[in-house]
Amino acid sequence: RVPFLEIERELEISGAAVHQRVQKLIEMGVLSGSRYSLSPKGLGYSTCAFIGIQVNLISTGTHEQVFEKIVQIPEIVECHHISGKYSLFIKIFTRNNEHLKQIIIEKIQSIPEVTATETFISLEEGFVRQLPV
């Protein structure tokens, strides 16, 4: 996050003007606010993985039932509803590979409507970026 003072100097406008413009961008949905991000490694979570989850869509609402169970697993930090081979694609942080295995078996694959999972362990995060403005 860039400090308002730096924006004021760069654009040669007042602090009030910067604040008003930022508020307007937030209201328009362009900015989603500012926040501190926790470091998973700093919290002892050294394994990052992505898991594709296949769901048996035998009845209406099955997908949502699985989603409601997935959202209860605190190590899962993202869940995407996707098209293709999988119904859900999640991002998960765990303490180590053993912890990852435990969550996959005990919390994800134990959901009756889950028919298969495929796990991709991240070896290294290449980059993360925002969309260009």
CA distance 58 to 79: 21
Average pLDDT, integer, range 26-42: 78
Match 């697993």 to its residue by tokens: 73
Residue 33's pLDDT band (boundaries 50, 70, 90)?
low
Domain housing 19: 1-35
Name which residue leads in pLDDT, 107 or 3. 107
Residue 84's pLDDT band (boundaries 50, 70, 90)?
very high
pTM above 0.75, yes or no: yes
Residue 133 placed within a domain: no
Q: In the numeric block, which tokens belong to residue 119?
A: 């796990």
CATH number of the domain that residue 64 is part of: 3.30.70.920
Residue 19 sits in the same domain as residue 45:
no
Arithmetic mean of pLDDT over the chain: 90
Residue 77 sits in the same domain as residue 108:
yes
